[in-house]
A and B are shown apart, each in its own frame.
Chain A
Amino acid sequence: MTEFLLGAALFVLGTVALGLIRILRGPDDADRMLAAQLLGTGGVAVLLLLGVASGLGAVGDLALMLALLAAFASVAFVTGVARPDPPKPVRDPNALPRGDRS
């Protein structure tokens, strides 16, 4: 069971690491935020798997804290803690599906 859980943790870590390509590529800061968000959730899953696999009970508290703070960065990012410049809020006009969605 330990091997399986470690393997699963590695697999999930691998997938969310793949998602980090979105952080590198963007194109938009909101897209990067999405990748960080996925890394947060994936990180929680990896932690839980690692914690059970290695019998570190306290990892549950860490996962709890990460889940608690999961929305933090995105919320800060979007509510304009980040961005006080109005002409171009959090979006890139080119990425908008405005035209092709009825």
Chain B
Amino acid sequence: MSLALSLFTIVCVSLGAVFFLAGTLGLLRFPDTLTRLHALTKADNLGLGLVVLGLLPQVDWPLGALKLIAVWLLALLAGATVGQVLGSAVRPPPVSGAGESTP
């Protein structure tokens, strides 16, 4: 049982670490800010999520585990907001004068 839980931790944390690596590589290699933002949110959501998931069996229930989950949920909220605000700031500004739409 304990072995299975340890294995679970190792697999999940390793997967999470891989997503952090992928996010970093994307941040470094992708050509412009918007695509880099895309890479970043992968590390935010999946990387941290898998690390948290993997650590769950290693902390005391229920408080430690709830705290971990709260950390992940807050990171999700932050990641989503940052994606929105940075994305809309980097995007070409809307053509002023309503009604016009670019093809």
Contacts and interface: CB of A to CB of B under 8 A. Distances in A.
A–B contact at 8 Å CB threshold (below): yes
Interface of A: 1, 4-5, 8, 11-12, 15-16, 18-19, 21-22, 28, 30-31, 33-35, 37-38, 41-42, 44-45, 48-49, 52, 57, 60-61, 63-64, 67-68, 70-71, 74-75, 78-79, 89-91, 95-98
Interface string B50-88: 011001001100001001101110110111011001100
B43 A38 contact: yes
Q: Chain A interface secondary structure, helix, strand, loop or mixed?
A: helix
A88 B8 CA distance: 49
A21 B89 contact: no
B89 A78 contact: yes
B82 A37 contact: yes
Interface of B: 6, 9-10, 13-14, 16-17, 20-21, 23-24, 27-28, 31-34, 36-37, 40, 43-44, 47-48, 51-52, 55, 58-59, 64, 67-68, 70-72, 74-75, 77-79, 81-82, 85-86, 89-90, 92-93
